């Protein structure tokens, strides 16, 4: 028998539950762009950021340089496609206004493959939103996108909306709950990871199950 005292009862009326997901767009180029080509990243909000690819520049984003400037939208075309991908990632991730953590309408960019031999670019929204990122290229010769994978995002649903963390749940029968995924860390490093997942549990009438939940599909009472 537990000697824990629960408090702050919240009665929750169940709705559909969704752990949500981050929109992402993965792509590569079919060839090296030429000077003046543009890469436009349009976020779910429809706000767009245009990067200009430069064949030579002392200020364009270059992963080999420590300082690339703030809010840089020029990208140096690398000696190889791999270098160009890394330079695109550098341009975005040194752009304070585009990557600020905890702020809506921001993105993170990383490379596919590995940092030594990048094979493409992956753009993530930093917020779970229903919708898609759009990527477009123009100018710079006849280069285009290849290996594109456009993954729609989804907004979380079924959340408790009281702004509290609940560590006990009571109800009857099988319900789907939102819980933290213990295999995902909580550090703000790299692309966003979905730390929330869904699980189906069975509740016994009159019993408080001592687990942390963030939302539920059933009509339940939750406690902290």
Count of alpha carbons within 13 angstroms of residue 65, beta-carbon side: 15
Helices (H), 38-187: 81-93, 96-99
**pLDDT for residue 175:** 97
**pLDDT for residue 135:** 97
Helices (H), the chain: 81-93, 96-99
Is residue 149 within a helix (H) or strand (E), and if so which, with residue range?
strand 145-151
pTM: 0.88
Rounded average pLDDT per 10-residue block, the chain, 224 residues: 78 93 96 95 96 92 79 92 95 85 87 90 95 94 93 95 92 96 72 90 95 96 95
Which tens digit of pLDDT belongs to each residue from 178-202? 999 887 766 666 778 889 999 999 9
Which sequence spans correspond to the domains of the chain? 10-20+156-223, 24-151
Which tens digit of pLDDT belongs to each residue from 60-95? 999 988 666 678 899 999 999 999 999 999 999 888
């Amino acid at each position: 028998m537990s000697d824990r005292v629960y408090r702050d009862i919240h009665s929750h009326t169940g709705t559909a539950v969704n752990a949500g997901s981050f929109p992402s767009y993965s792509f590569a180029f079919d060839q090296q762009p030429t000077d003046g080509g543009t890469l436009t990243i349009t976020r779910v909000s429809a706000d767009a950021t245009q990067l200009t690819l430069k064949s030579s520049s002392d200020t364009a984003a270059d992963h080999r340089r420590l300082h690339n400037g703030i809010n840089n939208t020029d990208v140096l075309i690398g000696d190889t496609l791999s270098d160009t991908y890394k330079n695109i990632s550098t341009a975005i991730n040194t752009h304070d206004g585009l990557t600020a953590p905890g702020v809506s309408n921001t993105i993170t960019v990383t490379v596919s493959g590995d940092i030594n031999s990048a094979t493409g670019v992956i753009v993530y929204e930093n917020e779970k939103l229903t919708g898609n990122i759009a990527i477009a290229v123009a100018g710079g010769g006849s280069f285009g996108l290849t290996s594109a994978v456009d993954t729609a995002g989804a907004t979380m649903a079924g959340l408790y909306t009281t702004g509290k963390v609940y560590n006990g749940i009571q109800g009857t029968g099988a319900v789907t709950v939102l819980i933290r995924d213990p295999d995902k860390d909580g550090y703000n490093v790299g692309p966003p990871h979905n730390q929330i997942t869904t699980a189906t549990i069975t509740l016994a009438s009159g019993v408080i199950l001592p687990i942390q939940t963030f939302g539920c599909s059933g009509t339940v009472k939750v406690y902290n």
